[in-house]
Chains A and B, each alone.
Chain A
């Protein structure tokens, strides 16, 4: 540790000042726009926003999608992470490479692919009809299901890699030990594995949740105007009506959701660790 404060500040300040001017300040001005309407401070914009049933519905849908994607990603993530951790070192490397691969591909392209796969004449419908699960094509596009699938594929890799590294840091012998002591798999998961990998779950969960609630491309392409989320609603309000007040309200909601998820999950991680 160097003690020279001036030198330290001189090194750190350019980045901080840059972020403050280019980023923090404009965002704060935008957020204040929703609280400062018609020349005075008031919560009027918020009251009006929540008065619209469409707005409430969109907020609810966004939260619901975020929670659902996070939960399913956690379940699938644990199953996958267990399978990956058990692999040999070289197979594990390749497997992680393949899991990370989608992260390197433009989200526009990935969503575009789902538009074809989930279409009425797409592969999913062909397979469903072939297997006999349905006799006429199921509608996926422009439904919440399509948005859910798109978001899950977009953010699942983040959960898988978080959980893989968490499982790798778990002591090797705890599961066999619990087994010997007569615990069943359910007990082992909830009493042993979950507490020991909580941090990985929290990191993955935060990334997936914030990613899902703030995504634009997936709800825009796969959901359209029938499945608006907060972000697509914000975009629509600004581009069609030049409505900065609603945009400001939605912006604050989104930031609160991101920060909230962050704090909540961090709390969960540390509070349980203390007991």
Chain B
């Protein structure tokens, strides 16, 4: 179609634009200087070390980890049965249910955060962490439903009907026949949900209190207070963590098929 030279140029430019900033961040992480600059002045590990010394990073990392794991898990617990019902049952108002469940993806995060803060957290005195957990669960739910639904659509429904006819209970058929076949999809949904929740900023922007901050919000605040490369170092570490997870997922379940 295109000559191979043009193709190489196009791809090189695309990668420069998309991946270039990432390289800047990695390089700045190992800077010997006090400020974020590129090219970095000298080489040192001081900023990588500092990341682990900053107390607020430790607690916000723990909170973000907690949210990403448990909110995604909760979203799957809610989302898998819902996806199954939407795929296999003829239910009244099915489309409404689908719209409601996937609405958090369409409404901008900042509005979700503000609405939850003002009309759930403040009036009902709900703990901010619980509110964050609920908000992140709602946020991940659409991804869970979408990915799991796609897996279910690809699975022939007559196998489980056969299992039921052969005397298995509906529940037994689900766990013995359906679950093993959509395991990859569930894992993919989990990873997608994890990354979405972990990097989420707008929802958590309002839903944070003194001492309760997710990692990205903490990083934003840190950048406003101090201008040293430790945020770059932290970003690199997080990026490698994400890449590692996705790489393993691709290796074992072919992650990209599901996204």
**A interface, CB within 8 angstroms of B:** 1-5, 7-9, 11-16, 18-20, 22-27, 29-30, 76, 79-80, 82-87, 95-110, 112-114, 116-117, 121-123, 152-153, 156-157, 160, 175, 210, 214, 216-217, 220-221, 231, 234-235, 238, 244, 247, 251, 254-255, 258-259, 262
When A22-B116, A27-B115, A104-B246 are in contact, do A109 and B238 touch as well, CB less than 8 Å? yes
- B114 interface hit (Cβ, 8 Å): yes
- Give the residue of A4, A112, A251 whose beta carbon is less than 8 angstroms from that of B25: A112
Q: Is the CB of A80 within 8 A of B238?
A: no
- Give the residue of B104, B114, B145, B216 whose beta carbon is less than 8 angstroms from that of A238: B114
Point out the residues of chain A lying under 8 angstroms from B145, CB to CB: 15
Question: 1/0 contact trace for B58-81 toward A, CB 8 Å?
Answer: 000000000000000000001101
Point out the residues of chain B lying under 8 angstroms from A106, CB to CB: 198-199, 216, 219, 235, 238-239
When A101-B22, A109-B239, A262-B106 are in contact, do A214 and B202 touch as well, CB less than 8 Å? yes
Chain B, 201-228, CB within 8 A of any chain A CB: 201-202, 205-206, 216, 219-220, 223
Point out the residues of chain B lying under 8 angstroms from A83, CB to CB: 2, 6-7, 10-11, 14
Residues of B within 8 Å of A, CB-based: how many? 83
- B242 interface hit (Cβ, 8 Å): yes
- Give the residue of B21, B78, B104, B195 whose beta carbon is less than 8 angstroms from that of A117: B21
Q: Which residue of A lies closest to B236 (CB)?
A: A109
Point out the residues of chain A lying under 8 angstroms from B239, CB to CB: 104-106, 109
- Give the residue of A85, A101, A107 whose beta carbon is less than 8 angstroms from that of B18: A101
When A30-B114, A80-B10, A106-B216 are in contact, do A22 and B120 touch as well, CB less than 8 Å? yes
Q: Is the CB of A116 within 8 A of B36?
A: yes
Point out the residues of chain B lying under 8 angstroms from A109, CB to CB: 22, 25, 219, 231-232, 235-236, 238-239
Q: Is the CB of A247 within 8 A of B11?
A: no
A84 and B12 alpha carbons, distance in the complex (Å):
11
- Give the residue of A26, A156, A175 whose beta carbon is less than 8 angstroms from that of B119: A26
- B53 interface hit (Cβ, 8 Å): no
A133 and B53 alpha carbons, distance in the complex (Å):
44
- Give the residue of A19, A24, A82, A235 whose beta carbon is less than 8 angstroms from that of B110: A235
20 contacts between A and B (CB under 8 A): A2-B170, A9-B85, A11-B82, A15-B82, A18-B137, A18-B141, A26-B115, A27-B115, A30-B114, A82-B2, A98-B19, A99-B18, A101-B243, A105-B239, A109-B236, A112-B235, A153-B21, A156-B17, A258-B108, A262-B106
Could you tell me the distance in whole angstroms from the C-beta of A123 to the nearest C-beta in chain B?
6
